[in-house]
Structure 1
Amino acid sequence: MPVDMELHVVASLLRRGRTLDQLSTGLTLLGVLFGLLQLLLITPTAPFLILSAWLIILGLWQKYWALRVAFDADLFTLMARDADALSDRTQALDQALQNLDLQPANRAGRPWTERQRGGLKLLRKQAVLLVAQVLPPLAVILASPWLPLAG
């Protein structure tokens, strides 16, 4: 597969991180709302406050990875536009990242296959955090005693 097509494919995959981030943002806001309701309207119970804290903390952690994934998606898109000058653009990108203290000097000049694996690894971390954020509320819903009465 030509390098420019690989860069486009990786950029497209990394852009899917936005969807993961939107779902996580909704769950984080749900955690904030649920936590506030526990504190303001209902007698707070430790398990539900812990669940709220879990949703909020994992949501913020996922947001960090989402920002990194979005940044990489933009960089891959930019680099894929002119694959003929990829070598020159890679050097310019590495220099810019070093000037902004976003990349150590010893990481410059890495092959694009390694950079692609790194970007996709960030996306997997983001997805794992989303799954970790979804599972506890799902378990609470499925274990709830009122569930058999609902249907």
Structure 2
Amino acid sequence: MSTDMQLYCVASLLRRGHSLDQFSTGLALLGVALGLAPWWQGIYNPWVLTIGCALLLLGAVQKYWAFRVAFDADLFQRMADSPSTLSDRTQALDQALAGLGLQAAKRGDRPWPERSRSALTLLRRQAMVLGAQLLLTLGGLLASPWWTI
């Protein structure tokens, strides 16, 4: 597979992080609703408040990974779309990232397969945090008092 096609594939996979981010946002908002709902009813339930805060915190962590994944998706797409040679694009990218303080200058000579693996690792981290949010939501719902008869 050509390097340009690999860059397109990685960019496409990284763009799937947007869907994960939207789902996580919904779970974080659910956490806010769960945390505040008992107070609106005049009831203080520390368990529900803890679950709500944890969902919100996990949502913030997921937002960080979503930002990183979206940034990488844009960079990979730009690298694949550029008409110049890959080595020229890579050098320009590394200089720009180093100039902005986003990458150490010594990490600039990494091959694209390694960069791709690193970017996909960020997507996996985003998905893992979303999975933790989902498990916490399901666990909280199943442990809630309205499920007992």
CA distance in structure 2 between the aligned counterparts of 1:2 and 1:83, rounded to whole angstroms: 15
In the other structure, the counterpart of 1:116 is 116
Q: Confirm or deny: 8 A CA contact 1:3 1:83 kept in the other structure.
A: no
In the other structure, the counterpart of 2:61 is 61
TM-align CA RMSD: 1.6
1:86-145 per-position Cα deviation (integer Å, ceiling 9, x unaligned): 100100000000110000111111100010000000000000000000102212323446
Matched position secondary structure for 2:66:
helix
CA distance in structure 1 between the aligned counterparts of 2:28 and 2:18, rounded to whole angstroms: 15
- 1:65 to partner: Cα distance: 0.3
In the other structure, the counterpart of 1:134 is 134
- 1:147 to partner: Cα distance: 4.3
In the other structure, the counterpart of 1:15 is 15
CA distance in structure 1 between the aligned counterparts of 2:138 and 2:83, rounded to whole angstroms: 45
CA 1:111/1:83 → structure 2, altered by over 3 Å: closer, same or farther?
farther
1:17-37 per-position Cα deviation (integer Å, ceiling 9, x unaligned): 000000000111111122122
Q: Confirm or deny: 8 A CA contact 1:4 1:83 kept in the other structure.
A: no
CA 1:33/1:143 → structure 2, altered by over 3 Å: closer, same or farther?
closer
Structure 1: 5+ residue stretches without partners: none
- 1:41 to partner: Cα distance: 2.4
TM-score by structure 2 length?
A: 0.93
CA 1:110/1:83 → structure 2, altered by over 3 Å: closer, same or farther?
farther
TM-score by structure 1 length?
A: 0.92
4+ residue segments displaced more than 6 Å: none
Instruction: Count residues with an aligned counterpart.
Output: 149
- 2:96 maps to 1:96: yes
- Choose 125-134 or 78-87, whichever is displaced more: 78-87
- 2:52 maps to 1:40: no
Structure 2: 5+ residue stretches without partners: none
In the other structure, the counterpart of 2:51 is 51
CA 1:83/1:147 → structure 2, altered by over 3 Å: closer, same or farther?
farther
1:51-106 per-position Cα deviation (integer Å, ceiling 9, x unaligned): 00110000000000000000000000000113651100100000000110000111
CA distance in structure 1 between the aligned counterparts of 2:101 and 2:65, rounded to whole angstroms: 18
- 1:44 to partner: Cα distance: 1.6
